[in-house]
Amino acid sequence: MSTVRALTKTWSVRQYILASVRRDFVARYLGTQLGFFWAIAQPLAMIAIYTLVFAAIMKPALPDHDSRFAYSIYLCAGIILWQLFSELLTRSVGVFVHNGNLLKKVSLPKFALPVIVMLSGLTNFAIILALFVCFLIGIGAFPGPVVLALVPVIVIVVALALGLGVLLATVNVFYRDVEQITGLVLNFWFWLTPVVYPVRTLPDALATVLAWNPMWPLVSFAQSIFLDRRLSDWTSLLYPAAVACAMLVMGVYSFKRLSGDIVDEL
């Protein structure tokens, strides 16, 4: 099946995709007694805890930043971007296996499933980002128009997670250990990304090696936007963008080669 044909078939079931995203949101939040409150409460609690612990209690210092909220902003900026990547990748890897019965019973384009995961993850991310922006406005630290530079960063993160996710999801159909291994690798990957610690605290030799991590420049770019209220060098996004494109190509290629055998293996 050609890529164009797969995308065309996926577009033809767009109403089902949107309905599935809506059902996922309802099942996650609105099916509870407090409903939409949980969609706000969980990310709001995360921001509040980080602010209380790091701004009011531990008071860690960041070079060239005197604000008592500096580390909280640095940490939240990195974590919300990492959570987007982690959620998309984690849910994508098992998307074919977990929906095996659906694929067997319904004539549904398989590629629609990763699209549903992507839209659902972006919905959750939008809620968290909106609350984070409200927090920044409340403390007088909103970066202004420069925040729009986050858009290409999000696009690259989504492309990287989706490309790698589809590649691993296809392999996971035939080797079910892939999903468990991915969760384990993500735990290490998080600590190899400057989410919790400032880059300047690392030895130069270690920083040079870890800079090959494609999430490194993406997280650093986002942290510069929110903390420094400025743009990092745009060229820093070229490497993660190239890796994301490579993952998309590999993911689509593996999907095309093995899509005909996926249902038989489920």
Tell whether the model's pLDDT for residue 60 goes beyond 80: no
What pLDDT score was predicted for residue 243?
A: 97
Contacts of 206 (CB under 8 A, 6+ apart): none
**Spatial CA neighbour of 43 closest among 130, 109, 102:** 130
Query: What is the structure's pLDDT at 57?
Result: 63
* Two structure tokens written together for 193: 């990304």
96-105, 165-174, 210-219: least confident range: 96-105
pLDDT above 90 (res 54)? no
More confident site: 122 or 64: 122
**C-alpha to C-alpha distance for 157 and 49, rounded to whole angstroms:** 26
CA 134 distance to own-chain centroid: 20
Q: 208 pLDDT band (50/70/90 cuts)?
A: confident
The predicted pLDDT at position 34 comes to 58
What is the predicted pLDDT for the residue at 56?
Answer: 63
Q: What's the predicted TM-score (pTM) here?
A: 0.89
- Cα(226)–Cα(142) distance, rounded to whole angstroms? 7
| DSSP class of 64 | T
pLDDT of res. 179: 92
Sequence spans of domains, the chain? 3-33+73-265
- Binning pLDDT at 50, 70 and 90, where does residue 93 land? very high
Task: State the average pLDDT over residues 183-188.
Answer: 93
Contact 171, 265 (CB under 8 A): no
Share of the chain above pLDDT 70, in %: 88
